[in-house]
Amino acid sequence: MDQSVAIQETLVEGEYCVIAVQGVLCKGDSRQSRLLGLVRYRLENDVQEHALFLYTHRRMAITGDDVALDQIVPLSKDFMLEEVSPDGELYILGSDVTVQLTTAELRLVFQLPFGSHTRTFLQEVARACPGFDPETRDPEFLWLCRHRCAESEAESPKPREWNSDPGTRSGFAPIGGGRYQSWNARRGLEDVLPRGPGYILLWGGATKEPEFLLAEEVHEGGPVRGPRARGGRRDEALEEADWEMSAGGGSRERDCAGGYNVDSSRPNGRGLLPLDQSSGARCPDKPENSLTRQNRSKAEITDMVRSSTITVSDKAHILSMQKFGLRDTMVRSHLLQKEGEYTYIQNFRFFVGTYNVNGQSPKECLRPWLSSDTKAPDVYCVGFQELDLSKEAFFFHDTPKEEEWFKAVSESLHPDAKYAKVKLIRLVGIMLLLYVKQEHAAYISEVEAETVGTGIMGRMGNKGGVAIRFQLHNTSICVVNSHLAAHTEEYERRNQDYRDICSRMQFSQVDPSLPPLTISKHDVILWLGDLNYRIEELDVEKVKKLVEEKAFHTLYAHDQLKIQVAAKTVFEGFTEGEITFQPTYKYDTGSDNWDTSEKCRAPAWCDRVLWRGKNISQLSYQSHMSLKTSDHKPVSSVFEIGVRVVNEELYRKTLEEIVRSLDKMENANIPSVTLSKREFCFENVKYMQLQTATFTIHNGQVPCEFEFINKPDEETYCKQWLTAKPSRGFLLPDSHVEIELELFVNKATATKLNSGKDTIEDILVLHLHRGKDYFLSVTGNYLPSCFGSPIHTLCYMREPILDLPLKIVNELTLMTVQTADDRSQLEKPMEIPKELWMMVDYLYRNAVQQEDLFQQPGLRPEFEHIRDCLDTGMIDHLCANNHSVAEALLLFLESLPEPVICYSAYHSCLECSGSHTASKQVISTLPTFHKNVFSYLMAFLQELLKNSAKNHLDENILASIFGSLLLRSPAGHRKLDMAEKKKAQEFIHHFLCNPL
């Protein structure tokens, strides 16, 4: 889950969350989850500033409302985020990464999850750190003011101070200096870290030397760091920054986009306009790009064709899209691969014509040339050469002839259809016109036109070529009109011109990041023009004679183009149809007579049409003798060309399939594990008797991090009597880990289980990061025990606790001390718990002379035996070491939910510990059963003291042992305050040496 999205929602215009990571903030022993977001802000002049925003958050932050800004740490010059190895711990692959954040004011330690995301995060932060170069302007962080209100005043200094001269704030106390003390102490750093100004100046400019020294000491034990290490790191960061800049505007624009989005989503509270819509509104002249094709009126289409930048076909449009993210790139490449599945071939009729007009204006109707076919062509490609031979045209690139011929052509297009002009391109006298039937206009896209001059100096436009490339449905087509070098002997020049045109003709792509297209990269190439190849080695008269005889085959053998093509020196891969018309050059203007001028040129097939590509068949190839305007005759060729047409339905289907397969991939990438066991039953759980169960997590193919997570409103992932070991971890693909569930009921949990307020029942949620959650159910039953039962409850149990129905045990456990006293008249409870009596009696009978009683540990298995005897009432079977029974007695007292001297009496006991009378007075206020127990125990202890010669016990030892058991602080401190402890002993002491 990308949590930067949630953070982005909390930001304002101009701020952009570059990357976010979820980590654990370690303060002393406390661990709190934080979302760390690297936020970039762009000022004018392309200057950027960064800050780390720390958020508290809900488990899975999805929206801005799931996070709350806690603290902002600007990436000032003194900012540092470095990986440290936790002290004394071995680095374990897959374990959390511990990082330390240092600035002049504070120092925080985080644990970040293992993995590449954390790596990327750290790299991004390193990259965002301002350089150390004194030349660069110090960041000011004025923009952070906006967030100040959200933070508590104490948490951060005023924005100005972030970067004011360190000297001016020498009195400024380090933020959190006190708070992090415990952490420092843990690492034994206290003495090397002076507080106050010196500390603040760490890494500061003025007092460099000592500071660096200090820093080295700080990092002792960790990786070596010092000025050099740091310097190196900086250089790297700078280099990377440079690289980013030179990598182009990408990142800058990225920011704008982010900013724009925030802009539109924040101030007016609407935030609903998806990005594309809002920016679509900014360029209203662009046609819609929705995937469903719109029905547009014909007029609109003609217009669009004229503007010739339309992107109408879904496919064409999509294929021309820039690279967006990996997903898009993948979809696009899949679409290309599967083109065959959603396209079919449809034939289109192409008219290709070429006419060298010898600088003339149109004088006759062009229909005989352009509309001689019975069927109206779908596409017209009409080329002219020598449109204008004047100097003006040559030098000023402007000619009235362009309009004249364009009009003449437009008027002579086939009368059976309506056409739209797609494009007109001209280089001096070389002009190419492209028309399509109006109904096809919507399927023309990516129209580009270019020119290449090969004339004088190899550049000028008196010779050369022009070309138009476009996409018709899904087929890319390039039409070239060229006028190559003249003169019979210059065929090598003509070949060279061809090669020049091929190499220099480059069409830019819609996506500027893609290399430009060349002529050869098209599905269909149509090449027409005055190619100027002549008939060689035959004298003029011979040629004329052969023409007259229509012995074209004999002439072919002498046609330079045929010869050159056969020699593969030019037009490689191109085809030309059979020529069945007489040479189109050179005639006396206004007639069909061969040139009678002085030069008396030999007739030649100068004007030609060639093609390259699949699914192309030539229907006709002819000249048009009736046109007499020029010394050339126009040539035409009609083709039937198979074009790839998108079947909308199949296209949608294919697209859907691709998107689906990507979705599936994504679903397959959700981490998933199998658990060897999900139900755990712990039967007959007993007090302080460990039970364990194990299960195995087998990972699937995706690396995953697992963790038992808390259920809502619960502080821990499971009940207090349960632990899972380990409770979190990282699994590589196909690996597994064994988890041990340990169930252990102790004094903290026993009472609730006895009362039925708690049961051995729990659901653990095993969460996979970015993946599923698994529920594990734990069930079982607890065998109630006298351990953990209140004194008065036990007094009311005349039978062994395990012989009583569970309901009664529950009820009696829930009974309050007051009720117990009130009920005593009626139910004749015992004066003290029989279990207490059993243990004391056992000791009285067997252990009064036992050496070191209460000072030697018991045996574990014996404790379990004693517990069972007490709970089942089989006291006669009790057979144990004296020390074990003595310890059981102490454990019994310790497990009492309400100590013998009730919590409420604790403080009065300590107060009057100086006086025996007063102490007795307090005891008399205790509830009856507690009073009884107290007196009973004191009597027993006094009995023991009578044998002190044997058992080596004295008042002090006993007061010390029993003081802290009978008198327990209501505050629940584990370790008593020494003074309180002393008083408690003193209190008990009275009852040991004075008669009861």
Residues 892-951 that bind other proteins (CB under 8 A): none
Q: Which two tokens stand for residue 850?
A: 């036992």
Of 173, 417, 510, 693, the residue at the interface with other proteins (CB under 8 A) is 510
Q: Are 323 and 513 in contact (CB under 8 A)?
A: yes
Q: Which one of 274, 726, 861, 970 is in contact with other proteins (CB under 8 A)?
A: 274
| DSSP at 710 | P
- Find the binding residues for other proteins in span 40-69 (CB under 8 A): 62-66
Cβ 38 to other proteins shortest distance, Å: 13
User: Which listed residue (236, 253, 341, 403) binds other proteins by CB under 8 A?
Assistant: 253
Q: Are 811 and 754 in contact (CB under 8 A)?
A: no
Q: Please, what is the minimum distance in Å from the beta carbon of residue 663 to other proteins?
A: 5
Binding to other proteins (CB under 8 A): which residues in 233-252?
A: 249-251
Q: Say how far apart CA 231 and CA 761 lie, in whole Å.
A: 58
Cα separation, 743 vs 782, in Å, equals 11
Which residues ranging from 348 to 407 are in contact with other proteins (CB under 8 A)?
397
In whole angstroms, what is the distance from residue 434 CA to residue 308 CA? Answer: 11
CB of 737 to other proteins, least distance (A): 18
- Closest contact distance (angstroms) between CB of 292 and other proteins is 8
> Closest approach of Cβ 662 to other proteins, in Å?
8
Please identify, among the stretches 238-246, 269-277, 578-586, 986-994, the one whose residues bind other proteins according to the rule CB under 8 A. Answer: 269-277
Binding residue (CB under 8 A) for other proteins from 44, 89, 153, 285: 285
CB of 82 or CB of 762, closer to other proteins: 762
Nearer to other proteins, 108 or 466 (CB): 466
Distance separating alpha carbons of residues 727 and 566, to the nearest angstrom: 79
Q: How far is CA 816 from the centre of its chain?
A: 57
- Quick note: the x/- pattern for other proteins over 746-785, rule CB under 8 A, is -----------------x-xx----xxxxx-x--------
**Strand 343-356 with 379-385, pairing:** parallel
Residues 131-150 that bind other proteins (CB under 8 A): none
Determine, following the binding rule CB under 8 A, whether residue 716 of this chain makes contact with other proteins: no
Q: What residues contact residue 986 under an 8 Å CB cut-off, 6+ apart? A: 913, 914, 959
The distance of closest approach from Cβ of residue 403 to other proteins in the complex, given in angstroms and rounded to an integer, is 14
- Given a contact cutoff of 8 angstroms between Cβ atoms, the answer to whether 962 and 944 are in contact is no
633-692 residues near other proteins, rule: CB under 8 A: 659-660, 662-664, 666-667, 670, 678
Question: Which of 9, 388, 758, 868 is in the footprint of other proteins by CB under 8 A?
Answer: 9
Mutual angle of helices 116-128 and 227-246, in 10-degree steps: 90
Residues from 822 through 881 that contact other proteins (CB under 8 A): none
Among the residue ranges 170-178, 272-280, 374-382, 917-925, the one whose residues contact other proteins (CB under 8 A): 272-280
Structure tokens at 317: 């449009």
Instruction: Identify the helix (H) or strand (E) that includes residue 55.
Output: strand 48-57
Provide the minimum distance between the beta carbon of 66 and other proteins in the complex, in angstroms, as a whole number: 8
The residue count for the chain? 996
Q: Is 515 in the site for other proteins (CB under 8 A)?
A: no
Min separation Cβ 445 and other proteins, Å: 12
Closer by beta carbon to other proteins, 453 or else 899: 453
Task: Give the residue carrying structure tokens 């658990």.
Answer: 675
Q: Which of 47, 145, 272, 874 binds other proteins (CB under 8 A)?
A: 272
The reply to whether 265 sits near other proteins by the rule CB under 8 A is yes
- Helices and strands in the chain, H and E counts: 35, 29
Pairing state of beta strands 616-623 and 607-613?
A: unpaired
User: Shortest approach of other proteins to residue 271 CB, angstroms?
Assistant: 5
Contact positions with other proteins (CB under 8 A) in 290-329:
290-292, 307-309, 311, 318, 321-325, 327-328
Laid out side by side, the sheet with 15-27 consists of: 67-74, 48-57, 30-42, 15-27, 107-112, 97-102, 80-84
Q: Is 261 in the site for other proteins (CB under 8 A)?
A: yes
What x-and-dash track marks residues 462-501 binding other proteins by CB under 8 A?
A: ----x-----------------------------------
* Smaller CB separation from other proteins, 339 or 894: 339
**Count of beta carbons in the 10 Å neighbourhood of residue 889:** 23
* Nearer residue to other proteins within complex by CB, 64 or 176: 64
Closest approach of other proteins to the CB of residue 766, in Å: 8
Say how far apart CA 143 and CA 521 lie, in whole Å: 51
Asked if residue 514 binds other proteins (CB under 8 A), the reply is: no
d(Cα 208, Cα 202) in Å, to the nearest integer?
8
Q: How far is the CB of 899 from other proteins (least distance, A)?
A: 35
Q: Are 892 and 936 in contact (CB under 8 A)?
A: no
CB of 165 vs other proteins, minimal distance in Å: 37
First to last CA, the chain: 71
* Spatial contact of 863 and 688, defined as CB atoms under 8 Å apart: yes
What does each C-alpha distance from 85 to 34, 98, 99, 126 come to in angstroms? 20, 6, 8, 18
Q: Provide the minimum distance between the beta carbon of 612 and other proteins in the complex, in angstroms, as a whole number.
A: 24
Q: Looking at beta carbons only, is 201 or 766 nearer to other proteins?
A: 766
Q: Which residue, 296 or 652, is less far from other proteins as judged by CB?
A: 652
Q: Using the rule CB under 8 A, which residue among 146, 544, 711, 931 binds other proteins?
A: 711
Cβ proximity to other proteins, 153 vs 713, nearer residue: 713
Q: Which helix (H) or strand (E) holds 645?
A: strand 635-646
Both tokens assigned to 530: 């005055």
* Short-list 881, 805, 885, CA closest to 837: 885
At residue 205, φ and ψ (nearest 5 deg) are -80, -45
Binds other proteins (CB under 8 A): choice among 137, 286, 499, 550: 286
Report the alpha-carbon distance of residue 439 to residue 48 in Å, rounded. 52
Q: How far is the CB of 693 from other proteins (least distance, A)?
A: 17
Residue pair 938/931 in contact by the 8 Å Cβ criterion: no
Of 7, 566, 612, 55, which is closest to residue 262 (Cα–Cα)? 7
66/868 with CB nearer other proteins: 66
Confirm or reject binding of residue 255 to other proteins (CB under 8 A).
yes
Residue 798 Cβ, how far from other proteins at the closest point, in Å? 37
Per rule CB under 8 A, count of chain residues that contact other proteins = 83
CA distance 644 to 523: 10
CA–CA separation, 438 and 646 (whole Å):
18
**Taking a C-beta distance cutoff of 8 angstroms, is the pair 658, 339 a contact?**
no
| Token output for 758 | 């708690």
* Least spacing, CB of residue 319 vs other proteins, in Å: 10
- Closest to other proteins by CB, 15 or 631: 15
Cβ closest to other proteins, residue 768 vs residue 880: 768
What is the x/- site pattern for other proteins, positions 191-230, by CB under 8 A?
----------------------------------------
Binding residues among 407-466 for other proteins as defined by CB under 8 A = 424-426, 448-451, 466
Of 754, 752, 761, 598, the C-alpha closest to 680 is 761
